Structure 1
């Protein structure tokens, strides 16, 4: 088979030739080798072609992490179609937004899942959007997620597309073609569809393999399939390395720990939220994670207290920085970094990445110790936002740096400190407030497990901080205790004017705190 560079399907072809008998995917009791995966992807690709799918058409998969979703993604990549994932946790309103925006030609639904039947919902959405004649639905089986459950679809369509047609379609795919659309989380506004090309995903994965190395031998995928953490940080990185992915339909701490011990998982990626879930699990024992060769943390600040509990693993630990728009990791802390560096910084640019700190109205580097927007230049950024030319033009500078929208500061040691999202900062009484700074101080309180600050309008100050927090298990806290803590640690103007203690904080599907929902709660309580 013809082999080219920087195309996703070619990574699979290469591994099927060199390590074909090696297990590529594990889904429950089912194991699929690289040879078998290639065969399944070709069969699925032919079925898509037989169903009338053309290069550039969009295919959606509504599913938890499972081998069926990965086969769909790779089959789309093979024939030049564009894949996007839909999270089973979405509500009807969210499904409607993504379907309206992406207009897929085909939607695969793993239904029912967790007792919810999606087919009826999706059919109604398609009718409401007048897309029911332009989009086909194919249902999978909740019980096994087995590739043979595609049988009706395959039987009807794969015979209509010969191997020669598949080959002709495959060789027409260019590395600049869009392989996937991954929507931003929408934590501060409307989600935008980030278009990721073959070249960007492949280059990002190869760059990650360069520093992650043997840790990619075995990794568990438990985050939603519509998240860059599943598609790139696990799926593409492990594929580029030639490792094994273990699919988990849910993120359950006990299951993560169990599979880590049983399968000797070598790579783990977490944030403060998922670290806490592991620590609070009755099954938690640090020895269950002893096979890890690399433990990374990112997406939100991880406290020193939390990270210190995982240091006895005596493995490589690294803080990382990534966005959907960067297609994967672009900064990381060194493996010999101190605990202070790992918790207070996002590290340094990886090989091939340039970074600078700029004022929002300038493209000149501000130098060390100055807070400004983190801007990055590298050769694998995303291709732009779907249906949003203005946002696409706005995110790149004239000299091809990506504007991250994050406020950071470069230290003398070369590490970058994450300060906050530009959209999260606010003015209160003329002072600039950085919610992440306040959240960090709250999390240092020994009885607090989670914290978030949002801004609400105020006649006197313009905006005031409204803080939300949760207590650790088996402890009780009150607002006066937190106020006293904050007034001891922060300037008075930084202390939130209002605090609310909750049993839990609302979260997005990617486990990040849902700040939009907190803002609604704040105004309801005002």
Structure 2
């Protein structure tokens, strides 16, 4: 089904019902529908039409959702952009996606520095940002009358380009059709037994695939209510749940762990919650027990998936959260097939390690402008190669043990070591660089740079961080720097990162108190 047809059906069933809570504001389904039609006219007045790419670099705000729906009404393609990225990273995505227009929050420092051929529109609070040099999307929507809109595009038309990191260090754009995104929403709403009575808190960045496709579109499909938290903060997270009687929410494990450090955690009324969903890394038994004890519930569900798959994959349901702690489950979500295979494609027996592969109607069409990477991502019979290595236990539960690619997952954010290495290598004090992930009890992993200094140089860690500050999003910048004489390489020059992980990849101490500083 086309996503606009899906949304309009919900709006016709529940026109006066609250669709969205945002701070003190509330929007009904009919109001968001009308505003999205006005947004479509604003975009069309600036040359956007069917197939054009509309980028959105925003916090979790009503006008992100209004912009997405407005673009989709025109048959345009939505390109969500990570609001933590720096100037060169944003410019690459706008250029690579051939974005016709970009809606960007004026509170972002990068907003005034981007160089692009795309038309720029600001969103958010314009106070103190009057000199940005481009029009304000929110105001234009409020002042513009909706014109006659085109008929919805077909189900197989492109709906999104979702960017994820690639092995070359540059992001890759995953192409998702309306049908694929609808499938993701349908599967997730079914897996959670969602109804129109549910209230879903979107606290993680909405430009991520799961908050957008799984939980936002899943809620819209069922006629439920969304609660947007502009940006995650532990106290704001708890307050939003209590104030709006939230029933469902999703976050990285750190988003559930960080509130436990608040002295008044127990004073917040969380009794409305029926399910806490987490992803981006498993929870060990001790941490799962701690969460259940402090939140006074056993209703924690882990989901595993990736952007290329919708994101859909497997789930570890509440009844197994302690018994199989650390697992990503044994059951795939409805409509998803999963297998773990050896290098020769044969099924992996219990106790052995193989690659997780998945297949679903929600899978991406391919990578934008990268036929070679698209071919490499799939087996000849259509299974997506996740790149994750997993062990299967005697009961059929999957445990991720390593990655074929050098992906680092920190606080639910994906960091590719190659991208960080490419940014750090030009520093004049460095002769060689390798970036690895070190296990961390709260973040999943923390980014570590192993560096070889040039003769006579003594690199300073703070200077290296400053060197990267305008090149990489903050969560990608290494927290620790380990100095070595040489990096282990094969005779052909290939870096042997497994030796680095074994030698210096010891787990880091818990640093929950630094949550806000690190992921600001």
TM-score, scaled to structure 2 = 0.77
CA distance in 2, matches of 1:86, 1:351: 29
Aligned residues: 440
Inter-partner Cα distance in structure 1 for 2:509 and 2:406: 23
Residue 316 of structure 1, CA deviation: 2.5
Q: Alpha-carbon deviation of 1:258? A: 0.7
What is the DSSP-based 3-state SS (H/G/I as helix, E as strand, rest coil) of the residue aligned with 1:341? coil
Give the aligned partner of residue 194 of structure 1: 174
Task: Note if 1:270 corresponds to 2:248.
Answer: no
Q: What displacement does 1:329 show? A: 3.0
**Are the aligned partners of 2:204 and 2:251 in contact in 1 as well (CA < 8 Å)?**
no
The alpha-carbon distance between structure 1 residues 177 and 286, as it changes in their structure 2 partners (threshold 3 A), is farther
- 2:494 aligned with 1:458: no
Following superposition, the deviation at residue 364 of structure 1 comes to 2.5
Match of 1:471 among 509, 517, 520: 509
- The correspondence for 2:112, drawn from 112, 116, 120, is 120
2:50 is matched with 55
Secondary structure in 1 matching 2:500: strand
Question: Displacement, 1:338?
Answer: 4.6
Cα displacement string for residues 212-250 of structure 1 (whole angstroms, at most 9, x for unaligned residues): 023781122222232112212321111122111111121
Q: Distance in 2 between matches of 1:449 and 1:392?
A: 30
Q: Any conservation in 2 of the 1:26–1:245 contact (CA below 8 Å)? A: yes
Higher share of residues assigned helix: 1
Contact 1:41 1:74 in 2 (8 A): yes
Q: Distance in 1 between matches of 2:443 and 2:100?
A: 44
Is 1:229 aligned to residue 210 of structure 2? yes
Q: 1:450: Cα distance to partner?
A: 6.2
> Can you list the C-alpha shifts for 1:61-88, whole angstroms capped at 9, x where unaligned?
1210101001111111222101112233
Is residue 20 of structure 1 aligned with residue 15 of structure 2? yes
Structure 2 residues not aligned, in runs of 5+: 130-134, 408-435, 451-486
Match of 1:25, SS state, is strand
Equivalent in the alignment of 2:346: 364
Q: Which residue of 2 is the match for residue 314 of structure 1?
A: 297
Residues 46/407 of structure 1: CA separation in 2 closer, same or farther (3 Å cut):
same
Q: 1:472 to 1:403 in 2, by over 3 A?
A: closer
* Residue 85 to residue 474, structure 1, CA distance change in 2 (3 Å): closer
Match of 1:10 among 1, 5, 22: 5
Alignment partners' CA distance in 1, 2:400 and 2:406:
13
Corresponding residue number in structure 1 for 2:38: 43
Partner of 2:318: 335
Q: Which residue of 2 aligns with 1:285?
A: 266
Which residue of structure 2 aligns with residue 413 of structure 1? 395
> Helix, strand or coil for the counterpart of 1:105?
strand
Q: Is the 8 A contact 2:327 2:397 kept in 1?
A: no
| Residue deviations 1:419-472 (CA, integer Å, cap 9, x gap) | 1211249xxxxxxxxx99x83xx74xxxx8865586963269953222265433
CA contact (8 A) 1:292 1:315 kept: no
Tell me: CA distance 1:329–1:293, structure 2 relative to 1, closer, same or farther (3 Å): farther
The 3 A distance-change label for structure 1 pair 283 and 143 is farther
Query: Is residue 84 from structure 1 mapped to residue 93 from structure 2 by the alignment?
Result: no
TM-score by length of 1: 0.76
| Correspondence 1:333-482 to 2 at 5 A | 333-360=316-343, 362-424=344-406, 439=439, 443=441, 451-452=445-446, 457-458=487-488, 462=496, 463-465=499-501, 466-467=504-505, 469-472=507-510
